[in-house]
Amino acid sequence: MSNAVKNLIIKHRSIVEDDWTVLRFPDTAADAGAEPSPPQDPGSLAVPAGKVIVPLTVWLAQRDALGARAAAGEIGVWIASDERAEALKGDLAQLTVVAVDFPKFTDGRGYSIAYNLRTRLAYSGELRAIGDVLRDQLFSMQRVGFDAYATRPDRDIHDALKGLSDFSETYQASVDQKLPLFRRHLRTGAGTGAEISVEATDLGAGI
């Protein structure tokens, strides 16, 4: 039996072994006083064998070469917070995994990317949050369509899992609940004693 430490991920509310590798560009931070390294050409970045989640720029530059591996379920794509999900519009059907990177927990742009993937682009595969992913974010992340979470390795993943159940009710509509609370609430019909749905009777329900 191998003694290698397995990477763990939260997926569908369970902690499972992660068999994907996230490919990132090499760290180009320069030593003090040295000239910064030029950005690497995404078309030249080598994609290793196995199940790999590549940067969006690498996918766009190497789509033809990676297409067969994507069709076989071996290539996923991750999107940076300053990129747009629409760049994958014609490719989503062949991608088993799409990940959204959170460079720091205070950067909320990834929520909009995920929401657009699920609603406007109708992506139905695994939608994974990567990067600076903490317990306090997980409940909101699942609301916009994430179903997998690569939490920060320096935090307890078992504690993070509890974040998916921090609240028992939600007020606003989102990917996980199409109706806001006021449209789900049942009121009693005046003088009848019968419960009636606000969705069917409240003229302001669609506002």
pLDDT in tens, 2-42: 334 469 999 998 999 999 999 999 875 544 455 555 568 99
Angle at 59 between CA 64 and CA 81, to 5 degrees: 160
Distances in Å between the alpha carbon of 167 and those of 138, 142, 143?
A: 11, 12, 11
| Three-class DSSP category at 129 | strand
pLDDT of residue 165: 64
The mean pLDDT value of the chain amounts to 81
Burial 10-38 (b: 16+ CB within 10 A, else e): bbeeeeeebebbbbeeeeeeeeeeeeeee
pLDDT of residue 2: 38
pLDDT in tens, 105-150: 999 999 999 999 999 999 999 999 999 999 988 988 998 999 999 9
Q: Percent of the chain, pLDDT > 90?
A: 62
Distances in Å between the alpha carbon of 89 and those of 92, 97, 167, 170, 174?
A: 6, 14, 33, 30, 21
Domain ranges of the chain: 8-168, 177-207
CATH architecture for the domain at 8-168: Alpha-Beta Barrel (3.20)
Distance CA 166, CA 137 (A): 10
Across 167-196, average pLDDT: 51
For residue 92, give every residue at least 6 positions away whose Cβ sits within 8 Å of its Cβ, in sequence order, or none: 98, 117, 121, 122, 123, 125
Token code pair at residue 118: 């699920």
Q: Is a pLDDT exceeding 70 seen at residue 93?
A: yes
Greater confidence, 164 or 80? 80
